[in-house]
């Protein structure tokens, strides 16, 4: 298996909490990923439609548009993008909906960084 060059792979982060974006972005950056952060789902989707990120990490509970709706729209505009859900609420029905809509992983905020990075790596492997 060929090792992925993470610097050439894009991870888009979408969360309405700036502190989560900052900490998650730093974690991914320190692991060598090219990271773009978004607080606005519409801006996120517009950029995804142009740049087709390899992996998208999305929050579920956001104003204006839920993460599940973002996931649904993203599947249409960038079907090769792998979605990872990172949310504060571990609701089994939401988890099932996200996973049934082909999410690569579902994590609750506060997840161990090693587990989260392993999920991103697995999603990136699946996209290539």
Give the start-to-end residue ranges of the domains of the chain: 6-120
- Residue 91 neighbours by CB under 8 Å, 6+ apart: none
Q: What is residue 6's DSSP assignment?
A: G
- Residue 100 neighbours by CB under 8 Å, 6+ apart: none
pTM above 0.85, yes or no: yes
Quick one: pLDDT at residue 126?
Answer: 82
Quick one: pLDDT at residue 89?
Answer: 85
Quick one: pLDDT at residue 5?
Answer: 61
- The one-digit pLDDT tens for each residue of the chain (128 residues) are 444 566 678 899 999 999 999 999 999 999 999 999 999 999 999 999 999 999 999 999 998 899 999 999 999 999 999 999 999 988 999 999 999 999 999 999 999 999 999 999 999 988 66
Beta bridge pairs of residue 37: 13
Domain 6-120 grouped into CATH 3.30.420.10: no
């Amino acid at each position: 298996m060929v090792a992925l060059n993470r610097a050439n792979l894009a991870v888009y982060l979408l969360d309405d909490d700036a502190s989560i974006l900052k900490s998650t972005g730093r974690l991914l950056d320190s692991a060598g990923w090219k990271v773009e952060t978004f607080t606005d789902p519409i801006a996120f989707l517009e950029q995804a439609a142009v740049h087709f990120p390899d992996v998208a990490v999305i929050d579920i509970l956001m104003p204006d548009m839920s993460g599940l709706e973002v996931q649904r729209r993203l599947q249409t505009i960038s079907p090769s993008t792998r979605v990872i859900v990172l949310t504060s609420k571990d609701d089994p029905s939401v988890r099932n909906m996200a996973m049934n809509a082909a999410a690569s992983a579902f994590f609750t905020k506060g997840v161990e960084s090693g587990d989260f990075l392993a999920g991103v790596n697995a999603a990136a492997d699946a996209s290539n």
